[in-house]
Amino acid sequence: MRLNQLAMSYAGKNLRYLRKQKGWTQEEFANKLNVKRSLIGAYEEERAEPKLEVLEILSSLFKLSLDELLLKDLTEEPKGISYLDQRRKLKMVAESNSIQFVPLKAAAGYLNGYADPDFLDELNTFTLPMLAPGQYRAFEIVGDSMLPTPSGSVIVGEKVEDMEDVKNSNTYVVLSKTDGIVYKRIMKNTKAKNKLTLISDNPVYEPYNVNSDEVLEVWKAVYILQKASLVQRWDVGQLAGMVNNLNNEVNSLKRKLN
């Protein structure tokens, strides 16, 4: 029992230390660990013990073993290694998650080269410090089908390995044999398991179906990057109208699918 209490004590202490090193708020950290913000406070104050799934995410996030998280006091600086050296090490881990950028001029070639390492190596890359470890790619979109997200925006997506992880009504970049690269909301078809319904945010565009076997890649949108000059000014009436239209479209589609 003593060993368990010691381990959990180090887990909470280490959790707070790692969060502080990254400069994340408790709310930001909670989002990365898929828990409520109040739980982060409870962990750090040792009022609650992190569950195994939380520790596993923490382990992946900081490239640490469970033994290190549970049994080692990370706040004790190793001999000869300063606090700044540890910060730099964590920064290097974050920067290893380089994001390959697919601009409009490379979109056509991406359909054939998406799985070709030589093609991907030719793409420019960048990093975002706020991203958790994972596989990311950025796509420049064109057109007004996803307004108020304007044409020319860059969608940063995280690779979806299993289609079961796709959530209805969330936004994704979809690469398919028929349409190439598109940015849409996905609605799973409950009647036809081999089809996906793609929905635009702009209600002018009708939803349409794609066959699952035509889909080559799916990237969950995690960030939208856009030039300040492209940001549109919307009044409350316009936004309310667009939200109502979109809700009506989604509800109508749900009725048809069910």
The string of pLDDT tens digits covering residues 28-69 is 899 889 999 999 989 988 888 888 899 989 888 888 888 888
Whether residue 141 sits in one domain with residue 81: no
Q: What is the pLDDT of residue 157?
A: 96
Q: What is the pLDDT of residue 88?
A: 58
Q: Would you call 138 helix, strand, or coil by DSSP?
A: strand
Whether residue 112 sits in one domain with residue 14: no
Whether residue 129 sits in one domain with residue 75: no
Identify which of 111, 107, 113, 142 has the alpha carbon closest to the alpha carbon of residue 214: 111
Q: Would you call 209 helix, strand, or coil by DSSP?
A: strand
pLDDT above 70 covers a percentage of the chain that reads: 83
CA–CA distance, 249 with 200 (Å, rounded to integer): 10
Q: Which domain holds residue 225?
A: 99-257
The order of strands in the sheet holding 208-211 is 125-126, 99-102, 136-140, 154-159, 215-225, 171-176, 180-188, 195-199, 208-211
The average pLDDT across 199-217 equals 94
Whether residue 142 sits in one domain with residue 70: no
Q: What is the pLDDT of residue 86?
A: 60
169 within 8 A of 250, measured Cβ to Cβ: yes
Whether residue 104 sits in one domain with residue 230: yes
Last residue of a domain, one of 67, 95, 123: 95
The average pLDDT across 179-186 equals 96
Q: Would you call 68 helix, strand, or coil by DSSP?
A: helix
Whether residue 244 sits in one domain with residue 172: yes
The pTM assigned to this predicted structure is 0.57
CA–CA distance, 9 with 6 (Å, rounded to integer): 5
pLDDT beyond 50 at 1 = no
